[in-house]
Amino acid sequence: MEIGFIGLGNMGAPMARRLIEAGHSLVIYDTRNDAAVPLVALGAKLAASPADVADRAETVLASLPEPHIVAKVATGAGGVIEGRRIKRFVDLSTTGSRVAAEVAAALAAKTIVQIDSPVSGGVAGAQKGTLAVMVSGPAAEIAHVKDALAVFGTVFVVGDKPGMAQTMKLANNILSACALAATSEAVVMGVKAGLDPAIMIDVINAGSGRNTASTDKFPKAILPRSFNLGFATALMTKDVRLALDEAKALGVPDDIMRAVGRAWETAFSEIGPDKDFTTIVQPIERRAGVVVGKQT
Ligand code: NAD
């Protein structure tokens, strides 16, 4: 299948590579020219703009950082909306349901169908093809792309309306954000009391406190102080802000989400938006006057 792919970052590059390895023919674009080089070496064709991608493929996938960039790439000047061949736009980014619905409506005016397909499972999941792929959109259009999306991991069709998969993704990510923020506070508390953080993580993982931060983020990136899982604090903070917007729009309780949001805003402003999201532990360490893991 001929597929367009826009956005070749931490997630997009390994997903695009997996599509090529599965036998698909790719037309790719990223504003960073160097991002395309390894994929061109694998046989992908380089396009000059999102509109050029959409001139050359019926199915165009995108993995982009922020909702306003998704909107611009999809519906702005030079966007996929101007393409002559495109039939469906599949957004792999975390965009939020409001922007997803706006993009879907704008594309529908040009008879292009939008399919939401945000993913979860991190860079390692993108590399190994073990992502959770959450999909919403018209069933007949999803049928066209389901096999291609299965290259990324397990496909869950969660609804037929634009934005439903985005709400699913935000529910997942607010839990992931909460687990990392809460585990950081709990482990810092133990370290301040003299506990060994590695032993704490072993105990938590054998007990009822086990979660994705204790099983994955602490052992891989916080205890070794490598802070290198490939997801920027800016993007996790964006996801938490989107979850709060979603809760507000739906009129549902959000007390815990707001507390989690404060922890991410602190990491965003004190440690920096471009740092790996596992650095959320650092503002908590600073306030406690301890360091988790070995000294830097
Ligand atoms: P990233 O910043 O590493 O990659 C984004 C890519 O988009 C970059 O290569 C950038 O150059 C490109 N880009 C930016 N503006 C562009 C434009 N106008 N046209 C074309 N390309 C453009 O981000 P990422 O970590 O790969 O995340 C991508 C999306 O996936 C985000 O929405 C994120 O929330 C989501 N996500 C990320 C992870 C993760 O672990 N990194 C996990 C699940 C979901």
Residues lining ligand 1, CB < 6 A?
A: 6-12, 29-32, 35, 63-65, 69, 73, 93-94, 119-120, 122-123, 230-231, 235, 239
CB atoms near residue 37 (< 10 Å): 12
Residue 112: DSSP 8-state = P
Dist. CA 216 → ligand 1 center (Å): 21
Contact 263, 240 (CB under 8 A): no
Please give the structure tokens belonging to residue 265: 């805003």
| Residue with the two structure tokens 């086990």 | 210
Contact 155, 121 (CB under 8 A): no
* CATH number of residue 121's parent domain: 3.40.50.720
How remote is the CA of residue 199 from the centroid of ligand 1, in Å? 35
pLDDT at 143: 97
User: Is there a single domain that holds both residue 14 and residue 151?
Assistant: yes
Q: Does one domain contain both 115 and 138?
A: yes
70 and 127 housed in the same domain? yes
Q: What is the pLDDT of residues 185-210, one digit of tens each?
A: 999 999 999 999 999 999 999 999 99
Total number of residues shown for the chain: 296
Residue 215 domain boundaries: 167-288
Of 205 and 293, more confident: 205
Beta carbons of 264 and 237 less than 8 angstroms apart: yes
- Mean pLDDT, the chain, whole residue set: 97
119-139: pLDDT as tens digits: 999 999 999 999 999 999 999
Please check whether residues 175 and 123 belong to one and the same domain. Answer: no
Q: Which pLDDT tens digit goes with each residue over 200-256?
A: 999 999 999 999 999 999 999 999 999 999 999 999 999 999 999 999 999 999 999
pLDDT in tens, 62-78: 999 999 999 999 999 99
**CA dist 80 → 95, 106, 118, 141, 142 (Å):** 17, 11, 18, 17, 19
Q: Ligand 1, residues 152, 172, 231, 274: which to mutate, most atoms within 8 A of Cβ?
A: 231
Answer whether residue 296 shows pLDDT above 80.
no
- Give the distance (Å) from ligand 1 centre to CA of residue 147: 22
> Do residues 22 and 135 both lie within one domain?
yes
Residues known to be catalytic:
169
Handedness of CA 52, 54, 59, 65 (dihedral sign): positive
Q: What does the pLDDT read at residue 294?
A: 60
Radius of gyration of the chain (CA): 20
Q: What is the pTM of this model?
A: 0.96
Same structural domain, 182 and 118 = no
Which atom of ligand 1 is nearest to 94's Cα? 32
| Ligand 1 nearest-atom number relative to CA 238 | 34
Which two three-digit tokens encode residue 101?
A: 């619905």
Q: What is the pLDDT of residues 252-280, one digit of tens each?
A: 999 999 999 999 999 999 999 999 999 99
Helix (H, G, I), strand (E, B) or coil at 255: helix
Is 223 inside any structural domain? yes
Q: Which ligand 1 atom lies nearest to the CA of residue 122?
A: 40
Beta bridge partners of 4: 27, 60
pLDDT value at position 161? 94
Is position 59 within any domain? yes
pLDDT tens profile 37-71: 999 999 999 999 999 999 999 999 999 999 999 99
Distance 71 CA to ligand 1 centre (A): 14
CATH assignment of the domain containing 211: 1.10.1040.10
Asked whether 116 and 136 are in contact (CB, 8 A), the reply is: yes
Number of domains forming the structure of the chain:
2
pLDDT, position 295: 45
Report how far ligand 1's centroid is from the alpha carbon of 64 (Å): 4
> What atom in ligand 1 is closest to the CA of residue 95?
32
